[in-house]
Structure 1
Amino acid sequence: MSAQVDTPWALTAQQLDVQLRGRRVLHAVDVAIPRARWTCIVGPNGAGKSTLLRALAGLCRADGLIQLLGRPLRAWSRRERAQTLAWLGQNEYGSDDLTARDVVMLGRLPHRSWLAAPGARDHAAVEQALRATQAWDWRDRPLGQLSGGERQRVLLARLLAVQAPVMLMDEPVASLDPPHQADWLALVRMLVARGHTVVSILHELTLALHADELVIVAEGRIAHHGATADAATHRALERVFDHRVEVLPVRSQWVALPRIDATG
Protein backbone atom coordinates (compact mmCIF):
# COMPACT_ATOMS: atom_id res chain seq x y z
CA MET A 1 0.00 0.00 0.00
CA SER A 2 1.22 3.52 -0.76
CA ALA A 3 2.55 5.68 2.03
CA GLN A 4 -0.15 7.47 3.99
CA VAL A 5 -0.32 11.27 4.14
CA ASP A 6 -0.16 12.76 7.63
CA THR A 7 -3.49 14.59 7.79
CA PRO A 8 -6.12 15.30 10.45
CA TRP A 9 -8.86 14.58 7.92
CA ALA A 10 -10.37 11.22 7.04
CA LEU A 11 -12.29 12.57 4.05
CA THR A 12 -12.43 15.94 2.35
CA ALA A 13 -14.38 17.28 -0.61
CA GLN A 14 -13.82 20.50 -2.49
CA GLN A 15 -16.32 22.01 -4.90
CA LEU A 16 -18.22 18.73 -5.03
CA ASP A 17 -21.01 18.68 -7.61
CA VAL A 18 -23.27 15.72 -8.37
CA GLN A 19 -25.99 15.42 -10.98
CA LEU A 20 -28.47 12.55 -10.99
CA ARG A 21 -30.79 11.97 -13.94
CA GLY A 22 -30.12 15.49 -15.18
CA ARG A 23 -30.84 17.18 -11.85
CA ARG A 24 -28.12 18.88 -9.82
CA VAL A 25 -28.23 17.29 -6.36
CA LEU A 26 -25.06 18.68 -4.73
CA HIS A 27 -23.91 22.25 -5.32
CA ALA A 28 -20.18 23.06 -4.90
CA VAL A 29 -19.97 21.31 -1.53
CA ASP A 30 -16.87 21.78 0.62
CA VAL A 31 -16.57 19.50 3.64
CA ALA A 32 -13.83 18.06 5.83
CA ILE A 33 -14.45 15.00 8.01
CA PRO A 34 -11.98 14.67 10.92
CA ARG A 35 -10.22 11.42 11.72
CA ALA A 36 -11.06 9.32 14.80
CA ARG A 37 -14.38 11.12 15.28
CA TRP A 38 -18.02 10.30 14.69
CA THR A 39 -19.58 12.71 12.21
CA CYS A 40 -23.30 12.45 11.52
CA ILE A 41 -24.95 13.85 8.38
CA VAL A 42 -28.49 15.07 8.93
CA GLY A 43 -31.07 17.14 7.07
CA PRO A 44 -34.57 17.07 5.61
CA ASN A 45 -35.73 14.43 3.16
CA GLY A 46 -34.32 15.04 -0.29
CA ALA A 47 -31.56 17.32 0.97
CA GLY A 48 -28.78 15.26 -0.66
CA LYS A 49 -27.46 13.40 2.39
CA SER A 50 -27.18 9.96 0.81
CA THR A 51 -25.75 11.43 -2.39
CA LEU A 52 -23.07 13.22 -0.38
CA LEU A 53 -22.14 10.03 1.48
CA ARG A 54 -22.07 7.97 -1.73
CA ALA A 55 -19.90 10.60 -3.41
CA LEU A 56 -17.44 10.56 -0.51
CA ALA A 57 -17.27 6.78 -0.87
CA GLY A 58 -16.61 7.05 -4.60
CA LEU A 59 -19.86 5.27 -5.42
CA CYS A 60 -21.37 7.88 -7.73
CA ARG A 61 -20.04 10.13 -10.43
CA ALA A 62 -19.05 13.52 -9.04
CA ASP A 63 -17.16 16.62 -10.10
CA GLY A 64 -14.68 18.14 -7.67
CA LEU A 65 -11.82 16.83 -5.55
CA ILE A 66 -12.41 14.08 -2.99
CA GLN A 67 -9.53 12.98 -0.76
CA LEU A 68 -9.30 9.94 1.49
CA LEU A 69 -6.70 10.28 4.25
CA GLY A 70 -5.03 13.10 2.36
CA ARG A 71 -4.77 11.31 -1.02
CA PRO A 72 -7.09 11.93 -3.97
CA LEU A 73 -9.70 9.19 -4.04
CA ARG A 74 -8.85 8.41 -7.66
CA ALA A 75 -5.25 7.68 -6.63
CA TRP A 76 -6.31 4.69 -4.53
CA SER A 77 -6.50 1.30 -6.14
CA ARG A 78 -9.79 -0.54 -5.70
CA ARG A 79 -8.17 -2.99 -3.31
CA GLU A 80 -6.55 -0.25 -1.22
CA ARG A 81 -9.79 1.68 -1.00
CA ALA A 82 -11.81 -1.40 -0.10
CA GLN A 83 -9.41 -2.12 2.77
CA THR A 84 -9.45 1.48 4.00
CA LEU A 85 -13.05 2.60 3.55
CA ALA A 86 -15.97 0.32 4.50
CA TRP A 87 -19.52 0.99 3.33
CA LEU A 88 -22.99 0.10 4.62
CA GLY A 89 -25.71 1.39 2.33
CA GLN A 90 -29.37 2.05 2.93
CA ASN A 91 -31.76 -0.90 2.48
CA GLU A 92 -28.97 -3.25 1.42
CA TYR A 93 -29.77 -6.85 0.71
CA GLY A 94 -27.74 -10.03 0.47
CA SER A 95 -28.53 -13.39 -1.01
CA ASP A 96 -31.21 -15.07 1.11
CA ASP A 97 -29.45 -18.42 0.69
CA LEU A 98 -26.19 -17.27 2.26
CA THR A 99 -25.71 -17.86 5.97
CA ALA A 100 -25.05 -14.91 8.24
CA ARG A 101 -21.45 -16.07 8.63
CA ASP A 102 -20.95 -16.20 4.85
CA VAL A 103 -22.40 -12.71 4.43
CA VAL A 104 -20.01 -11.30 7.02
CA MET A 105 -17.09 -13.16 5.42
CA LEU A 106 -17.69 -11.04 2.31
CA GLY A 107 -16.25 -8.17 4.31
CA ARG A 108 -12.89 -9.97 4.29
CA LEU A 109 -12.60 -10.14 0.48
CA PRO A 110 -10.39 -7.01 0.23
CA HIS A 111 -7.83 -8.73 2.48
CA ARG A 112 -7.59 -12.00 0.52
CA SER A 113 -5.92 -12.95 -2.71
CA TRP A 114 -8.16 -13.84 -5.64
CA LEU A 115 -9.86 -17.22 -5.02
CA ALA A 116 -7.92 -17.72 -1.77
CA ALA A 117 -9.77 -19.51 1.03
CA PRO A 118 -10.41 -17.61 4.27
CA GLY A 119 -7.58 -17.89 6.76
CA ALA A 120 -7.47 -17.84 10.54
CA ARG A 121 -7.41 -14.03 10.65
CA ASP A 122 -10.50 -13.89 8.45
CA HIS A 123 -12.43 -16.31 10.62
CA ALA A 124 -11.37 -14.42 13.76
CA ALA A 125 -12.47 -11.09 12.27
CA VAL A 126 -15.85 -12.53 11.28
CA GLU A 127 -16.48 -14.00 14.72
CA GLN A 128 -15.47 -10.75 16.40
CA ALA A 129 -17.82 -8.77 14.15
CA LEU A 130 -20.77 -11.13 14.68
CA ARG A 131 -20.30 -11.05 18.43
CA ALA A 132 -19.99 -7.24 18.42
CA THR A 133 -23.41 -6.96 16.75
CA GLN A 134 -24.91 -9.76 18.88
CA ALA A 135 -25.51 -11.86 15.77
CA TRP A 136 -23.24 -14.80 16.61
CA ASP A 137 -26.07 -17.04 17.77
CA TRP A 138 -27.61 -17.20 14.28
CA ARG A 139 -24.33 -17.37 12.35
CA ASP A 140 -25.41 -20.53 10.51
CA ARG A 141 -28.91 -19.37 9.62
CA PRO A 142 -29.66 -18.24 6.05
CA LEU A 143 -30.19 -14.52 5.64
CA GLY A 144 -33.70 -15.19 4.30
CA GLN A 145 -34.75 -16.60 7.69
CA LEU A 146 -33.79 -13.48 9.62
CA SER A 147 -35.99 -10.57 10.62
CA GLY A 148 -35.28 -7.09 9.31
CA GLY A 149 -33.45 -6.10 12.48
CA GLU A 150 -31.42 -9.31 12.57
CA ARG A 151 -30.48 -8.89 8.92
CA GLN A 152 -29.35 -5.32 9.56
CA ARG A 153 -27.09 -6.48 12.39
CA VAL A 154 -25.51 -9.05 10.06
CA LEU A 155 -24.87 -6.38 7.43
CA LEU A 156 -23.36 -4.16 10.10
CA ALA A 157 -21.11 -7.08 11.09
CA ARG A 158 -20.02 -7.38 7.45
CA LEU A 159 -18.89 -3.75 7.56
CA LEU A 160 -17.03 -4.31 10.84
CA ALA A 161 -15.27 -7.39 9.44
CA VAL A 162 -13.47 -5.18 6.92
CA GLN A 163 -11.65 -3.58 9.87
CA ALA A 164 -11.28 -0.39 7.85
CA PRO A 165 -10.09 2.83 9.50
CA VAL A 166 -12.93 4.78 7.84
CA MET A 167 -16.53 3.52 8.00
CA LEU A 168 -19.50 5.07 6.19
CA MET A 169 -23.06 4.07 7.12
CA ASP A 170 -26.32 5.24 5.55
CA GLU A 171 -29.26 4.77 7.94
CA PRO A 172 -27.61 1.93 9.90
CA VAL A 173 -30.26 1.82 12.66
CA ALA A 174 -33.37 2.01 10.47
CA SER A 175 -34.52 -1.56 11.28
CA LEU A 176 -33.22 -1.73 14.84
CA ASP A 177 -35.37 -1.53 17.96
CA PRO A 178 -34.40 1.00 20.67
CA PRO A 179 -32.20 -1.40 22.73
CA HIS A 180 -30.20 -2.35 19.65
CA GLN A 181 -29.98 1.29 18.63
CA ALA A 182 -28.36 1.87 22.01
CA ASP A 183 -26.00 -1.04 21.30
CA TRP A 184 -25.11 0.57 17.97
CA LEU A 185 -24.30 3.85 19.74
CA ALA A 186 -22.01 2.01 22.16
CA LEU A 187 -20.35 0.20 19.26
CA VAL A 188 -19.67 3.46 17.42
CA ARG A 189 -18.18 4.98 20.55
CA MET A 190 -15.91 1.94 20.94
CA LEU A 191 -14.79 2.20 17.30
CA VAL A 192 -13.97 5.89 17.63
CA ALA A 193 -12.08 5.27 20.88
CA ARG A 194 -9.95 2.77 18.95
CA GLY A 195 -9.10 5.36 16.29
CA HIS A 196 -11.69 4.58 13.62
CA THR A 197 -13.59 7.30 11.79
CA VAL A 198 -17.35 6.84 11.54
CA VAL A 199 -19.58 8.86 9.22
CA SER A 200 -23.29 8.08 9.38
CA ILE A 201 -26.61 9.36 8.13
CA LEU A 202 -29.41 9.24 10.67
CA HIS A 203 -33.01 10.39 10.53
CA GLU A 204 -33.32 9.92 14.29
CA LEU A 205 -32.12 13.37 15.34
CA THR A 206 -31.82 12.53 19.03
CA LEU A 207 -29.47 9.67 18.14
CA ALA A 208 -27.56 11.98 15.80
CA LEU A 209 -27.03 14.40 18.68
CA HIS A 210 -24.79 11.78 20.31
CA ALA A 211 -22.22 12.27 17.52
CA ASP A 212 -19.09 14.39 17.88
CA GLU A 213 -19.99 16.59 14.91
CA LEU A 214 -23.01 17.26 12.72
CA VAL A 215 -22.93 18.04 9.02
CA ILE A 216 -26.32 19.61 8.30
CA VAL A 217 -27.39 19.40 4.65
CA ALA A 218 -30.18 21.40 3.03
CA GLU A 219 -31.03 21.71 -0.65
CA GLY A 220 -27.79 20.11 -1.76
CA ARG A 221 -25.54 22.41 0.25
CA ILE A 222 -23.85 22.34 3.65
CA ALA A 223 -26.02 24.50 5.87
CA HIS A 224 -23.79 24.02 8.92
CA HIS A 225 -20.91 21.87 10.14
CA GLY A 226 -20.01 22.02 13.79
CA ALA A 227 -19.65 20.32 17.12
CA THR A 228 -22.85 18.64 18.26
CA ALA A 229 -22.74 20.37 21.65
CA ASP A 230 -22.53 23.89 20.19
CA ALA A 231 -25.54 26.17 20.43
CA ALA A 232 -24.94 27.30 16.83
CA THR A 233 -25.32 23.69 15.67
CA HIS A 234 -28.60 23.35 17.56
CA ARG A 235 -29.99 26.54 16.04
CA ALA A 236 -28.93 25.44 12.56
CA LEU A 237 -30.62 22.07 13.06
CA GLU A 238 -33.85 23.75 14.13
CA ARG A 239 -33.64 26.16 11.19
CA VAL A 240 -33.27 23.55 8.42
CA PHE A 241 -36.33 21.75 9.79
CA ASP A 242 -38.33 25.01 9.68
CA HIS A 243 -38.31 25.22 13.49
CA ARG A 244 -40.59 22.19 13.68
CA VAL A 245 -38.08 20.54 16.04
CA GLU A 246 -36.49 21.92 19.18
CA VAL A 247 -33.13 20.87 20.63
CA LEU A 248 -33.28 20.65 24.42
CA PRO A 249 -31.10 19.24 27.21
CA VAL A 250 -32.57 16.20 28.97
CA ARG A 251 -30.58 14.38 31.65
CA SER A 252 -27.24 15.75 30.44
CA GLN A 253 -27.96 14.78 26.83
CA TRP A 254 -29.29 16.83 23.92
CA VAL A 255 -32.54 15.63 22.38
CA ALA A 256 -34.55 16.85 19.39
CA LEU A 257 -38.27 17.01 20.07
CA PRO A 258 -41.13 17.86 17.71
CA ARG A 259 -42.35 21.39 18.26
CA ILE A 260 -46.11 21.20 18.66
CA ASP A 261 -48.19 24.31 18.18
CA ALA A 262 -50.28 24.47 21.34
CA THR A 263 -52.74 26.84 19.67
CA GLY A 264 -53.62 24.31 16.92
Structure 2
Amino acid sequence: MTLLSVSSLDVSLGSKPVLDGVSLTVEAGEFVGLIGPNGAGKSTLLRSIVGLVPSAGAIEIDGSRAADMTARQRAAKIAYLAQDRDIAWDVPVEMVVALGRAPHRPAFAALGATDRMAIDEAMRRMEVDTFRERPATELSGGERARVLIARALAQETPLLLADEPAAGLDPHHQIALMRLFANLAAEGRSTIASLHDLGLAARWCSRLLLLDRGRLVADGPPQAVLTPERVREIYGVTAFFGEADGRRFVQPLDLVGDGQPQR
Protein backbone atom coordinates (compact mmCIF):
# COMPACT_ATOMS: atom_id res chain seq x y z
CA MET A 1 0.00 0.00 0.00
CA THR A 2 1.39 3.40 -1.00
CA LEU A 3 1.08 5.85 1.90
CA LEU A 4 2.83 8.77 0.22
CA SER A 5 3.58 9.76 -3.36
CA VAL A 6 5.54 12.90 -4.23
CA SER A 7 6.03 13.84 -7.88
CA SER A 8 8.24 16.59 -9.32
CA LEU A 9 8.12 18.66 -6.14
CA ASP A 10 9.58 22.16 -6.43
CA VAL A 11 9.83 24.58 -3.50
CA SER A 12 11.25 28.09 -3.32
CA LEU A 13 11.56 30.13 -0.15
CA GLY A 14 11.46 33.73 -1.24
CA SER A 15 13.57 33.86 -4.39
CA LYS A 16 15.74 30.92 -3.37
CA PRO A 17 15.02 27.47 -4.90
CA VAL A 18 15.16 24.86 -2.13
CA LEU A 19 13.74 21.68 -3.71
CA ASP A 20 14.10 20.80 -7.37
CA GLY A 21 11.99 18.05 -8.95
CA VAL A 22 11.91 15.69 -5.96
CA SER A 23 9.92 12.50 -6.56
CA LEU A 24 9.48 9.57 -4.17
CA THR A 25 7.00 7.07 -2.81
CA VAL A 26 6.70 5.50 0.62
CA GLU A 27 4.98 2.16 1.12
CA ALA A 28 3.46 0.78 4.30
CA GLY A 29 6.01 -0.84 6.61
CA GLU A 30 9.06 1.29 5.79
CA PHE A 31 11.50 3.12 8.04
CA VAL A 32 12.97 5.74 5.72
CA GLY A 33 15.95 7.86 6.72
CA LEU A 34 16.12 11.30 5.10
CA ILE A 35 19.77 12.34 5.03
CA GLY A 36 21.91 15.06 3.50
CA PRO A 37 24.12 17.99 4.55
CA ASN A 38 22.84 21.17 6.15
CA GLY A 39 20.74 23.17 3.73
CA ALA A 40 19.99 20.20 1.47
CA GLY A 41 16.22 20.69 1.83
CA LYS A 42 15.30 17.92 4.29
CA SER A 43 13.14 20.03 6.61
CA THR A 44 11.54 21.82 3.67
CA LEU A 45 10.57 18.48 2.12
CA LEU A 46 8.88 17.31 5.30
CA ARG A 47 7.13 20.65 5.82
CA SER A 48 5.87 20.73 2.24
CA ILE A 49 4.35 17.24 2.58
CA VAL A 50 2.21 18.37 5.54
CA GLY A 51 1.25 21.62 3.81
CA LEU A 52 3.31 24.06 5.86
CA VAL A 53 5.30 25.26 2.83
CA PRO A 54 3.81 26.16 -0.58
CA SER A 55 5.03 23.85 -3.33
CA ALA A 56 4.62 23.00 -7.00
CA GLY A 57 4.18 19.40 -8.07
CA ALA A 58 1.91 16.62 -6.86
CA ILE A 59 1.56 15.09 -3.38
CA GLU A 60 -0.77 12.18 -2.65
CA ILE A 61 -1.40 10.94 0.87
CA ASP A 62 -2.85 7.44 1.16
CA GLY A 63 -4.29 7.74 -2.35
CA SER A 64 -5.82 11.22 -1.96
CA ARG A 65 -4.52 14.47 -3.43
CA ALA A 66 -3.04 16.46 -0.56
CA ALA A 67 -4.28 19.69 -2.13
CA ASP A 68 -7.87 18.46 -1.69
CA MET A 69 -7.46 17.47 1.96
CA THR A 70 -8.25 19.63 4.97
CA ALA A 71 -5.66 20.05 7.71
CA ARG A 72 -7.69 17.70 9.90
CA GLN A 73 -7.80 15.05 7.18
CA ARG A 74 -4.03 15.26 6.74
CA ALA A 75 -3.53 15.01 10.49
CA ALA A 76 -5.49 11.75 10.52
CA LYS A 77 -3.01 10.31 8.00
CA ILE A 78 0.32 11.95 8.88
CA ALA A 79 1.84 12.90 12.23
CA TYR A 80 4.54 15.55 12.03
CA LEU A 81 7.33 16.15 14.54
CA ALA A 82 9.06 19.47 13.93
CA GLN A 83 12.65 20.33 14.82
CA ASP A 84 11.46 22.87 17.37
CA ARG A 85 11.28 21.21 20.78
CA ASP A 86 9.87 24.17 22.71
CA ILE A 87 6.78 23.61 24.87
CA ALA A 88 5.29 26.93 25.86
CA TRP A 89 2.40 25.69 28.00
CA ASP A 90 2.78 25.07 31.73
CA VAL A 91 0.65 21.91 31.56
CA PRO A 92 1.25 18.28 32.60
CA VAL A 93 3.11 15.97 30.24
CA GLU A 94 0.01 13.81 29.80
CA MET A 95 -1.95 16.80 28.50
CA VAL A 96 0.74 17.55 25.90
CA VAL A 97 0.66 13.94 24.67
CA ALA A 98 -3.15 14.03 24.60
CA LEU A 99 -3.00 16.77 21.94
CA GLY A 100 -2.08 14.01 19.50
CA ARG A 101 -5.65 12.73 19.73
CA ALA A 102 -7.18 15.96 18.38
CA PRO A 103 -7.68 14.69 14.79
CA HIS A 104 -9.72 11.74 16.05
CA ARG A 105 -12.38 13.53 18.12
CA PRO A 106 -14.63 16.58 17.88
CA ALA A 107 -13.31 19.88 19.19
CA PHE A 108 -13.54 20.17 23.00
CA ALA A 109 -14.83 16.59 23.30
CA ALA A 110 -13.70 14.60 26.34
CA LEU A 111 -11.13 11.88 25.93
CA GLY A 112 -12.61 8.44 25.44
CA ALA A 113 -11.27 5.02 26.35
CA THR A 114 -9.59 4.61 22.94
CA ASP A 115 -7.89 7.99 23.34
CA ARG A 116 -6.59 7.14 26.79
CA MET A 117 -5.22 3.80 25.60
CA ALA A 118 -3.36 5.51 22.75
CA ILE A 119 -1.96 8.15 25.12
CA ASP A 120 -0.81 5.60 27.69
CA GLU A 121 0.81 3.42 25.03
CA ALA A 122 2.63 6.37 23.45
CA MET A 123 3.99 7.51 26.83
CA ARG A 124 5.06 3.98 27.69
CA ARG A 125 6.89 3.54 24.39
CA MET A 126 8.77 6.81 24.87
CA GLU A 127 9.47 6.13 28.58
CA VAL A 128 7.74 9.30 29.75
CA ASP A 129 4.86 7.65 31.60
CA THR A 130 6.70 7.92 34.93
CA PHE A 131 6.46 11.72 34.88
CA ARG A 132 3.05 12.19 33.29
CA GLU A 133 2.02 14.74 35.94
CA ARG A 134 5.14 16.90 35.72
CA PRO A 135 4.77 20.35 34.11
CA ALA A 136 6.13 20.10 30.57
CA THR A 137 8.03 23.38 31.00
CA GLU A 138 10.19 21.82 33.74
CA LEU A 139 11.55 19.03 31.55
CA SER A 140 15.08 18.77 30.17
CA GLY A 141 15.63 19.14 26.44
CA GLY A 142 15.83 15.38 25.91
CA GLU A 143 12.72 14.78 28.00
CA ARG A 144 10.79 17.39 26.01
CA ALA A 145 11.86 15.69 22.78
CA ARG A 146 10.54 12.35 24.01
CA VAL A 147 7.23 13.90 25.12
CA LEU A 148 6.71 15.49 21.69
CA ILE A 149 7.51 12.19 19.98
CA ALA A 150 4.95 10.55 22.28
CA ARG A 151 2.40 13.15 21.17
CA ALA A 152 3.06 12.21 17.53
CA LEU A 153 2.74 8.49 18.37
CA ALA A 154 -0.57 9.10 20.15
CA GLN A 155 -1.91 10.45 16.86
CA GLU A 156 -1.83 6.84 15.58
CA THR A 157 -1.36 7.74 11.92
CA PRO A 158 -0.18 5.39 9.16
CA LEU A 159 2.76 7.73 8.45
CA LEU A 160 5.03 9.69 10.79
CA LEU A 161 7.32 12.48 9.59
CA ALA A 162 10.03 13.31 12.12
CA ASP A 163 12.53 16.15 11.66
CA GLU A 164 15.76 15.29 13.50
CA PRO A 165 13.95 13.24 16.18
CA ALA A 166 17.22 11.93 17.67
CA ALA A 167 18.64 15.40 18.30
CA GLY A 168 19.19 16.01 22.01
CA LEU A 169 18.71 12.38 23.01
CA ASP A 170 21.35 10.36 24.84
CA PRO A 171 22.63 7.13 23.21
CA HIS A 172 20.17 4.94 25.12
CA HIS A 173 17.16 6.94 23.98
CA GLN A 174 18.53 7.38 20.45
CA ILE A 175 18.73 3.61 20.02
CA ALA A 176 15.37 3.11 21.74
CA LEU A 177 13.85 5.58 19.26
CA MET A 178 15.37 3.79 16.28
CA ARG A 179 14.04 0.49 17.62
CA LEU A 180 10.63 2.08 17.98
CA PHE A 181 10.56 3.29 14.37
CA ALA A 182 11.68 -0.15 13.20
CA ASN A 183 8.90 -1.72 15.27
CA LEU A 184 6.34 0.66 13.77
CA ALA A 185 7.44 -0.52 10.34
CA ALA A 186 6.98 -4.13 11.42
CA GLU A 187 3.43 -3.18 12.48
CA GLY A 188 2.72 -1.83 8.99
CA ARG A 189 3.14 1.87 9.78
CA SER A 190 5.88 3.98 8.19
CA THR A 191 8.28 6.68 9.32
CA ILE A 192 10.35 9.23 7.42
CA ALA A 193 12.97 10.60 9.79
CA SER A 194 15.47 13.32 8.99
CA LEU A 195 18.79 12.21 10.47
CA HIS A 196 22.26 13.73 10.66
CA ASP A 197 23.79 10.72 12.41
CA LEU A 198 24.90 8.51 9.52
CA GLY A 199 25.61 5.66 11.92
CA LEU A 200 22.02 5.55 13.15
CA ALA A 201 20.70 5.94 9.60
CA ALA A 202 22.85 3.12 8.22
CA ARG A 203 22.15 0.70 11.03
CA TRP A 204 18.42 1.14 11.59
CA CYS A 205 16.70 2.45 8.46
CA SER A 206 15.35 0.06 5.86
CA ARG A 207 15.85 2.70 3.18
CA LEU A 208 17.63 6.02 2.78
CA LEU A 209 16.81 9.13 0.76
CA LEU A 210 19.85 11.34 0.17
CA LEU A 211 19.21 14.99 -0.63
CA ASP A 212 21.90 17.37 -1.85
CA ARG A 213 21.25 20.98 -2.86
CA GLY A 214 17.55 20.35 -3.21
CA ARG A 215 17.79 17.24 -5.40
CA LEU A 216 17.22 13.62 -4.52
CA VAL A 217 20.57 12.09 -5.49
CA ALA A 218 20.17 8.57 -4.07
CA ASP A 219 17.32 6.34 -2.92
CA GLY A 220 17.75 2.77 -1.73
CA PRO A 221 18.99 0.49 1.05
CA PRO A 222 21.71 1.94 3.31
CA GLN A 223 24.53 -0.13 1.81
CA ALA A 224 23.70 1.21 -1.67
CA VAL A 225 23.23 4.85 -0.66
CA LEU A 226 26.03 5.30 1.88
CA THR A 227 29.16 4.48 -0.09
CA PRO A 228 32.64 5.85 0.68
CA GLU A 229 32.63 7.82 -2.57
CA ARG A 230 29.23 9.38 -1.94
CA VAL A 231 29.99 10.29 1.68
CA ARG A 232 33.23 11.90 0.52
CA GLU A 233 31.53 13.79 -2.32
CA ILE A 234 28.37 14.96 -0.53
CA TYR A 235 29.58 15.46 3.03
CA GLY A 236 33.27 16.18 2.46
CA VAL A 237 34.40 13.60 5.01
CA THR A 238 36.11 10.25 5.11
CA ALA A 239 34.39 7.48 7.06
CA PHE A 240 34.89 3.98 8.38
CA PHE A 241 32.43 1.41 7.01
CA GLY A 242 31.70 -2.00 8.46
CA GLU A 243 29.02 -4.49 9.44
CA ALA A 244 27.75 -5.73 12.79
CA ASP A 245 24.93 -8.22 13.29
CA GLY A 246 24.32 -8.16 9.55
CA ARG A 247 23.77 -4.39 9.47
CA ARG A 248 25.91 -1.67 7.99
CA PHE A 249 27.51 0.96 10.18
CA VAL A 250 29.25 4.19 9.23
CA GLN A 251 31.55 6.30 11.39
CA PRO A 252 32.76 9.64 9.95
CA LEU A 253 36.47 10.11 10.64
CA ASP A 254 37.92 13.31 9.21
CA LEU A 255 37.50 16.09 6.69
CA VAL A 256 38.48 15.65 3.06
CA GLY A 257 41.20 18.03 1.94
CA ASP A 258 40.22 21.53 3.02
CA GLY A 259 37.01 20.19 4.55
CA GLN A 260 34.74 21.20 1.68
CA PRO A 261 32.46 18.69 -0.07
CA GLN A 262 33.97 17.51 -3.35
CA ARG A 263 31.63 18.83 -6.04
Q: Runs of 5+ in structure 1 lacking a partner?
A: 1-7
Structure 1 segments, 4+ long, off by >6 Å, are 261-264
Counterpart residue number, 2:222: 228
RMSD between aligned alpha carbons? Answer: 2.0
Matches within 5 A, 1:142-221: 142-209=135-202, 210-221=204-215
SS of 1:54's equivalent in the other structure is helix
Identity %: 35
For residues 53 and 129 of structure 1, the distance between their equivalents in structure 2, rounded to whole angstroms, comes to: 22
2:234 aligned to which of 216, 229, 240: 240
- Judge conservation of contact 1:50–1:201 (CA < 8 Å) in 2: yes
- Find the counterpart in structure 2 of residue 5 from structure 1: none
Distance 1:109 1:203 in 2: 31
Instruction: Show the 5 A alignment for 1:61-76.
Output: 61-76=54-69
Matches for 1:100-115 after TM superposition, within 5 Å: 100-115=93-108
1:167 and 1:261 map into 2 onto residues whose CA distance is 33
Unaligned runs of 5+ in 2: 259-263
Deviation track 1:119-140 (CA, whole Å, cap 9, x = no partner) reads 1111111111101100001000
Q: Distance in 1 between matches of 2:158 and 2:256?
A: 47
Cα distance in 2 for partners of 1:58, 1:185 equals 26
What is the TM-score when the length of structure 2 is the normalising length?
0.91
1:58 paired residue number: 51
Question: Structure 1 residues 205, 261: CA separation in 2 closer, same or farther (over 3 Å shift)?
Answer: closer
Q: Specify whether residues 161 and 263 from structure 1 end up closer, same or farther in structure 2 by C-alpha distance, changes over 3 A only.
A: closer
What is the distance in 1 between the residues matched to 2:148 and 2:160? Answer: 13
Give the Cα–Cα distance (whole angstroms) in 1 for the partners of residues 92 and 54 of structure 2.
Answer: 33
Return the TM-score normalized by structure 1: 0.91
2:254 — aligned with what? 260
**Partner of residue 133 from structure 1, selected from 110, 114, 126:** 126
Structure 1 residues 34 and 236, CA, compared in 2 at 3 Å: closer, same or farther? Answer: farther
Deviation at 1:246, TM superposition (A): 4.3
Q: CA deviation at 1:250?
A: 4.2
8 Å contact kept, 2:231–2:238: no
> Is the CA contact (8 Å cut-off) linking 1:238 and 1:246 kept in structure 2?
no
CA contact (8 A) 2:237 2:254 kept: no
**What is the aligned length?**
256
Aligned to 1:3: none
SS of residue in 2 equivalent to 1:123: helix
Alpha-carbon separation, structure 1, partners of 2:58 and 2:211: 19
Letter in 1 for 2:235: F
Conserved? CA contact 2:85–2:141, under 8 Å: no
Q: Distance in 1 between matches of 2:254 and 2:231?
A: 17
